[in-house]
Amino acid sequence: MANSPRENFVHWLRDAHSMEVGTLDDLEKFAKRIDQYPQLKTRIQQHIEETRGQERRLKELLESMNESTSGLKQAVTRVAGNVQAMVGTLFSDEALKNVIASYAFEHFEIANYRALLTTAEQVGDTRALQVLQQNLREEEAMAQWLEQHLAEITRRYLDLDASGAGGKS
């Protein structure tokens, strides 16, 4: 059964909203475990606030279209994030691996927002364009920050691990 561009758009907006809900959970858990990385912790806390805004804007956008969010998608995203967090705590290099995974995930989010922008243009939703562009800018800024600080975070992990302090928080 074929979907109209608007049906796809709504479906993908729900996906993006669920993605941000799951990301928020993941970031909050991660921020609690990186005390030995103060600059990273500060930036993660900033991105938590950005992500809250992204989630809120997407929810409001869906509501303005007389659509709802997806409780099922949010639940699945949260479960997946909880499993990832539990597995991550088993490894001494959790902080570094989470930074690498976060860098990759930021690019996944960037690609999603770019596809949503293209779809919003096609369906002529100018309000959505503003929301999606703001979310995209925030994701691009986070990805850029992680790229600029990956070497520094890696060196910090190596120093902590070599000193016997380990790479954990």
pLDDT tens-digit map of 123-151: 999 999 999 999 999 999 999 999 999 99
pLDDT at residue 90, as a whole number: 47
pLDDT band, very low/low/confident/very high, at 85 (cuts 50, 70, 90): very low
Answer for the pair 82, 58: CB distance below 8 angstroms, yes or no. no
**pLDDT of 163:** 92
What domains can you pick out in the chain, each with its CATH number?
5-162 (1.20.1260.10)
Residue 143 three-state SS: helix
CA gap 74, 78 in Å, rounded: 6
Instruction: Please give the average per-residue pLDDT across 111-132, as a whole number.
Output: 97
What whole-number distance in Å separates Cα of residue 33 and Cα of residue 149? 18
Q: Given a cut of 50, is residue 69 above it in pLDDT? A: yes
What would the two tokens of residue 64 be?
Answer: 């303005």
Contact 58, 17 (CB under 8 A): yes
